[in-house]
Structure 1
Amino acid sequence: MRYLYSEEVQRNLYDTHGLGHNIPLRMHKDFLKEIRGTFRAQDDWSKSVNPVDGYKGGLGRPYSFMGVTVPECLPERLEIISYANEYAFLYDDELETLDLKNYSGEFTGILETFSDDSFDQKVSSKSRPEKRLLAQIYSEMGDIDHIRAETTMKAWTKFVQSAARARTVPFNTLREYIPARVIDAGQLIWFGTLTFGLALTISEEEHDVCHKLAEPGYAAMALVNDLYSWDKERVMAEKAGQDYVFNAIWVIMAETSVSEADAKEICRAEIQKLILQYSQVMDDVQTDTSLSRDLRRYLEAVRLSYIGNLVWSIYCPRYRDF
């Protein structure tokens, strides 16, 4: 991949806790667009849904989420994907206040936002405020790139529906949990974010192989999220009255009867195994001319997202100050 919009961060300026696998961290040059999109999303959510006082989202010092996870985003698309991602963080925090244990499969309440017609811009004053904001996101993305905006919104809808179902039942083993966590961590929504942000086209014929090749990378990202968000998610689950936490640390402790500290070490070892697998995937695809150029660029973008997500997770206020 040619790097046009990002710069590599000096290795001595950040820690990876031994999970970086020598992947270089890159940061978008135009961080102001991310700040503008993020604050605009928070402001719109405060006005339309709920006040966000004390809320911690994607911004952080010295690393903010979108700038290091989509470092090669086209500059004119960075503000809107930052807005959309902040909306996703806000929406996810709302979901964490719900006890989905008794979820019936019907998309009511806040879940109605992502019903099958969620990317339909035909909303009214009677529509849920979250749905109206979602239509605004789709409209802004569509003004830039209608085709990829539709791909993104369809992927987002499928993601939320699948994630809501995945959170309803505790998992007994890490082997069972990881595939569900890959869905919940947003493989589908991130597919939309990367393809829109980098203006990539993955043909229908390549979708299955694309998701299959990227799976270890997304699994590693999901477990990184679990490792660093554990304290926050445990507190949120307790507030929601849940007797379990949809998190790998909880699954490992329940499955193996180990301490929290030992569960974190097991999680770290699993992350290292998965990112090693993904590095092998990346080595293999470099010379595989049967794969399209955009698919190979997408897989490299996932790799950059992994290291960006890791470093952001280590330093971000969202997981440290809640």
Structure 2
Amino acid sequence: MTQQSFIRNSIPLPRHTYEGEEYFCRFAPRIHRDARLSDAGSWQCQVDFLKSSNDARAGADRNKDVHSYAVGCINPVVGNFTALCACEALSDRLALTTYLVEYAYIHDDVIEYSEKKDESHLQKANEQLMEGLTLEGDKSRGPKSKDHVQRRQLQAKMVMELMEVDKEQAKETLRLWKEMSDVFVQIRDMKFTVLDDYLKFRVVDAGCPWTMSLLCFSMDFKLTREEEKQTADITSAAYDSWVLVNDYFSWEKEWSNYQSNGATGVVANSVFLFMKWHSIEKEEGKEMLRKEIISREDKYCSLKDDFLAKGAATEKTQQWLELLDLVTAGNFAWSMTTARYRAGAPDVYPALWKHCADKESDTESLGRPI
């Protein structure tokens, strides 16, 4: 008997917004009916983070000529990242979910565009951005600066609201967030010789397990341990394809940053690895990546079809596979069109910032619920 779809809160994304040569994904994206709530969550996070901290404002000013700096989920072409990937979220959890994803994007940029790029400073910046996103409380000693207090207030707000909604899922999300932040710095110093080894780390670095934990929170959805085990290989194949899609569309931005930094070190991107491993130019490396994405998506679909053909899928595991399809499509459409990756793409962030530029701070927003 065919299981009933769990589609309730989303509509198909208009085809004209994403169809074209660059959209070589086989799945069709959908978007949440209340997508405006995602944009509201994104913008509140931007105000809370960047307008309540002198350090944050200094970083934004220093990087004002970097077109993608602090560009998060909002995308005027296809819609907000979370509205696409969490298109079946409960409406009352959509803004909070997006707020957390937006913070993660800002976190990445604060590290990526740090004024001091040696490992000790990057580790310190990473710790400051994550120190309050645990259940362990404040372990720091000595007097606290105003920036420190406000940063901790912001982090505490996220933790508190997550815990109030779903304590157990919140704990898992926070655990995976810390795991992601730890790998984010480590991966830049690692040497890889085969793609699968790279993907094991890159999947965590890109936040795939964390993102899915958060999307499950947004939907009040949870697999049993046995169901997770049954679908683990399929899930892993989906994660691999998402990471490679991210590499594909973010490549030009990352290559430009690499050149600006003196072309030293490595780029955590599979195009860079292909260039190194096969002694090829970047154009060939990107074409090789395109073929790899198609191959990995084929593998995902094959594993999924084999699993379903056995007839042992529960209602929850079938819904999980449907969710993976939706995220595959949403991530692809968003990554292809976002100003975060693509220079010259439509971008609403400058206009949003201009709207509140007359205010040096907005600390009152930290006290407002998400």
* TM-score, normalising length: structure 1: 0.88
1 CA distance for matches of 2:281 and 2:299?
A: 27
Match of 2:76 among 50, 56, 61: 61
Q: 1:134 aligns with which of 155, 176, 179?
A: 155
Aligned-partner Cα distance in 1 for 2:115–2:201: 18
The aligned amino acid for 1:23 is F
1:29 maps to amino acid: R
| Residue number among 300, 303, 314 corresponding to 2:325 in the alignment | 303
Q: 1:15 aligns with which of 10, 13, 19?
A: 19
Percent sequence identity over matched residues?
A: 25
Q: Indicate the RMSD between aligned Cα atoms, in angstroms.
A: 2.9
Q: Is contact 1:101-1:169 (8 Å) kept?
A: no
Contact 1:34 1:66 in 2 (8 A): yes
Name the CA distance, whole Å, in 2 between partners of 1:315 and 1:109. Answer: 29
Residue in 2 aligned with 1:271? Answer: 293
1:88 counterpart (101, 104, 107): 104
1:181-205 per-position Cα deviation (integer Å, ceiling 9, x unaligned): 1121212211211210111122344
CA change 1:187–1:256 in 2 (3 A) is: same
CA offsets, 1:111-170, max 9 Å, x none?
35446x832273485657555433211211222222212221112112222333223223
Distance change >3 Å, CA 10–CA 47, structure 1 → 2: closer
* Aligned equivalents of 1:70, 1:138: Cα separation in 2: 20
Greater shift, 300-309 or 53-62, is seen at: 53-62
CA distance in 2, matches of 1:171, 1:224: 19
Q: Look up the match of 1:164.
A: 185
Kindly provide the CA deviation profile for residues 41-89 of structure 1, in whole angstroms up to 9, marking residues without a partner as x. Answer: 1001112341346642211122221111111111111100110000000
1:278 is displaced (CA, Å) by 1.1
Residues 183 and 110 (structure 1), Cα distance of their counterparts in 2 relative to 1, 3 Å cut: closer
Structure 2 distance, partners of 1:167, 1:313, is 22
Conserved in 2, the CA contact under 8 Å of 1:282 and 1:300? no
Cα separation, 2, equivalents of 1:101 and 1:212: 37
Structure 1: 5+ residue stretches without partners: none
**SS of corresponding position for 1:243:** coil
Q: Summarize the alignment of residues 7-156 of structure 1 with structure 2, pairs less than 5 Å apart.
A: 7-15=11-19, 17=21, 20-49=24-53, 50-51=56-57, 52=60, 55-63=70-78, 64-97=80-113, 103=119, 108-114=124-130, 118-120=133-135, 122-123=137-138, 125=144, 127=148, 130-156=151-177
Structure 1 residues 238-253: aligned runs within 5 Å: 238-239=259-260, 242-253=264-275
User: Who wins on radius of gyration, i.e. which is larger?
Assistant: 2
> Structure 2: how far apart are the matches of 1:159 and 1:3?
29
Provide the secondary structure at the position in 1 that maps to 2:189: coil
Q: Does 1:283 align with 2:298?
A: no
Asked if structure 2 preserves the Cα contact closer than 8 Å seen for 1:16 and 1:310, the reply is no
| CA distance in structure 2 between the partners assigned to 1:100 and 1:296 by the alignment | 47
Q: When the two structures are aligned, how many residues end up with a matched partner?
A: 321
- Assess if the C-alpha contact under 8 Å between 1:225 and 1:313 holds in 2: yes
Q: With the length of structure 2 as denominator, give the TM-score of the two structures.
A: 0.77
> In the superposition, relative to structure 1, how do residues 263 and 290 fare at CA in structure 2: closer, same or farther (>3 Å)?
same
Shift of 1:250: 0.5
* Aligned counterparts of 2:305 and 2:240: Cα–Cα separation in 1: 18
Deviates most, 121-130 or 190-199: 121-130
Deviations 1:81-106 (A, max 9, x none): 110000000001122235999747x9
2:75–2:338 Cα contact (<8 Å) kept: yes
Cα 1:74–1:146 shift into 2, 3 Å: same
Contact kept? 1:285, 1:296, Cα under 8 Å = no
Shift of 1:311: 0.8
Change (3 A) 1:235 1:99: farther
2:347 matched to which residue of 1?
A: none
